[in-house]
Amino acid sequence: MVEIRGVDKWYSTFQVLKGCSLSVARGEVVVVCGPSGSGKSTLIKCVNALEPVNTGEVLIEGTSITDGKASLSKLRARVGMVFQHFELFPHMSVLENLCIGQEKVLKRKSEEARDKAMGLLARVGMTAHAGKYPLQLSGGQQQRIAIARALAMDPIAMLFDEPTSALDPEMITEVLDVMVSLAQEGMTMMVVTHEMGFARKVADRVVFMDRGEIVEDTPKARFFEDPQSDRAKAFLSKIL
Ligand code: ADP
Ligand code: MG
């Protein structure tokens, strides 16, 4: 579903990604972790073409998105992205946030978009808040709306970049619960997170990055029980 092949990337003279290769199969959940500044956000942005790569390529369902030929708005509609800061449109109601992409990009009629939106609001437990504005909601509620908004586009895969790290502790579970149910329903997911409880529950593989490199890419059990690299061992000892 997602294939990253030998990607190098520089921010001017600083090499942020070094020979990164990674594939995510249909229905797989891959958790990406590693120290701050190791390139996790940059890697995930390359999968959505929010950042260009310098060398190597990224393929979505076998089609290159880095050869300059791909339609980026179509791609972004197909690969949902949820960020640390919820990035909802502040001047639009919850319902409008969920409908705008469906109407503008997917050309759905407003009634169809609304039905889809209401179904997703029910799914994330936010039906009662459809008419509110983002700033009237808690961080956990905003993040659930951000997930619902991404799902409204019928994505083939979902990317998450530290979706719970800006939340107060009591709101983390309500967001993780939505992500766990998505994973259990078979959504293809690439999740940057340090929530190792989430990783233990639903990840198929854990990828550990350090200083722009993918240092480990291992089945979950092995990552927790027997990390191969000293860098991953040191990281785990700090966060567990
Ligand atoms: P992570 O998500 O693992 O914390 P990032 O991908 O955000 O790492 O950043 C990796 C490195 O690249 C950091 O040193 C960061 O300061 C740098 N960086 C990130 N974005 C930019 C940018 N737009 N321009 C220049 N440097 C950047
Ligand atoms: Mg980051």
Write b or e for each residue in 172-183: b if 16 or more Cβ atoms lie within 10 A of its Cβ, otherwise e: bebbbebbbebb
Q: How deeply is 146 buried, as exposed, middle or buried, from its count of CB atoms within 10 A (0-12, 13-18, 19+)?
A: buried
Residue minimizing CA distance to atom 16 of ligand 1:
37
- Average pLDDT estimate for 190-207: 95
Cα 33 to middle of ligand 2, angstroms = 10
Contact 207, 232 (CB under 8 A): no
* pLDDT classification of 10: cutoffs 50, 70, 90: very high
CB atoms under 10 Å from CB of 53, counted, come to 22
**What is the residue with the minimal CA distance to atom 20 of ligand 1?**
42
Q: Tell me: the pLDDT tens digits for 83-138?
A: 988 789 999 999 999 999 999 999 999 999 999 999 999 999 999 999 999 999 99
- pLDDT computed for residue 15 by the predictor: 97
Query: Which pLDDT belongs to residue 183?
Result: 95
Longest dimension (CA), the chain: 55
* C-alpha 21 – ligand 2 centre gap (Å): 18
Q: Tell me the pLDDT of the chain averaged across its residues.
A: 94
Comparing 51-55, 190-194, 226-230, which segment has the lowest mean pLDDT?
A: 226-230
For residue 16 and ligand 1, the question of a CB distance below 6 A is answered with yes
Cβ(212) – ligand 1 distance below 6 Å: no
The SS3 assignment for 82 reads strand
Report the alpha-carbon distance of residue 188 to residue 179 in Å, rounded.
11
> In this structure, how many other beta carbons lie within 10 angstroms of the beta carbon of residue 89?
12
Check pocket membership of 38 for ligand 1, CB cut-off 6 A: yes
Ligand 1 closest atom vs CA 212: 10
Number of other residues whose CB lies within 10 A of the CB of residue 10: 14
Per-residue model confidence (pLDDT) at position 71: 79
pLDDT in tens, 27-81: 999 999 999 999 999 999 999 889 999 999 999 998 888 887 777 777 777 899 9
Instruction: Report pLDDT for 86.
Output: 74
d(CA 141, CA 160): 16
Strand partners, 157: 79
The reported pLDDT for the residue numbered 70 is 76
pLDDT attached to residue 66: 86
Tokens of 29: 């959940």
- The pTM of the full predicted model, rounded to 2 decimals, is 0.95
pLDDT above 90 (res 189): yes
Specify the pLDDT at position 14. 96
pLDDT of amino acid 75: 79
CA of 3 to the centre of ligand 1 (A): 21
Report which of residues 157 and 238 the model is more confident about.
157
Q: Which residues surround ligand 2, an ion (CB under 5 A)?
A: 41
